[in-house]
Chains A and B, each alone.
Chain A
Amino acid sequence: GEDVEQSLFLSVREGDSSVINCTYTDSSSTYLYWYKQEPGAGLQLLTYIFSNMDMKQDQRLTVLLNKKDKHLSLRIADTQTGDSAIYFCAESSTGGYNKLIFGAGTRLAVHP
């Protein structure tokens, strides 16, 4: 079945780079997504990558996709305290339409 796994917690120092990792099971997923959730808020779409791409860069965010290993990562350069949040990886379901399968989320803590 479809499953997405993430490590639960990451702590980094302000100014360092953060790397959040994710593995997924559905090799036919068309798109893979990263969402951010701050306390008391909904999910904010950060970025997404089409399955035929290896890398996508968007300002401080870099997404790397290794289709062979079904591994997705999100790198945040120059991490700031405002980046502290929960980050969710999601794959588009082969059930079709616009259904996403989410990981459990990685809590990123940024300390001075």
Chain B
Amino acid sequence: KAGVTQTPRYLIKTRGQQVTLSCSPISGHRSVSWYQQTPGQGLQFLFEYFSETQRNKGNFPGRFSGRQFSNSRSEMNVSTLELGDSALYLCASSLRQYNSPLHFGNGTRLTVT
């Protein structure tokens, strides 16, 4: 079974631009979550979706948004990029609605210059 697939693997953007990251979950998984990983803050939860509904959101500004499609694929968008948005963005999928192990993709490395 294919794992979680994230595209692209690397992105370089300029301050003020916007970016869209994509995530395809493991087949059959309907829960998708997103995390930001930085050296200073570690792994921080962004949001979680189940059946196209955002059920939980982390403490990030409104510039960070996401959505989930009917096939469970998910995208996250960051608008008006700042230097501090440079990070590894990790997507994870889970089989069940609650208390289900998260399986992570290899991430998208975003660099903002």
By a beta-carbon cutoff of 8 Å, the part of chain A in contact with chain B is 30-31, 33, 35, 40-45, 48, 88, 92-93, 95-105
Q: Which of these, B6, B101, B105, contacts A48 with CB under 8 Å?
A: B101
- B97 contacts chain A at the CB level, 8 A cutoff: yes
CA distance A88 to B92 in the complex (A): 15
Given A41-B106, A42-B90, A45-B102, A97 and B48 touching (CB < 8 A)? yes
What residues of B have a CB within 8 angstroms of the CB of A99 in the complex?
Answer: 33, 45, 48, 56
> Which among A43, A48, A93, A98 has the highest number of chain B CB atoms within 10 Å?
A98
Q: Are A97 and B43 in contact (CB under 8 A)?
A: no
Q: Which of these, A88, A98, A102, contacts B48 with CB under 8 Å?
A: A98
What residues of A have a CB within 8 angstroms of the CB of B90 in the complex?
Answer: 42-43
Q: Are B104 and A42 in contact (CB under 8 A)?
A: yes
Encode B36-47 as 1/0 by CB contact (under 8 A) with A: 000000110100
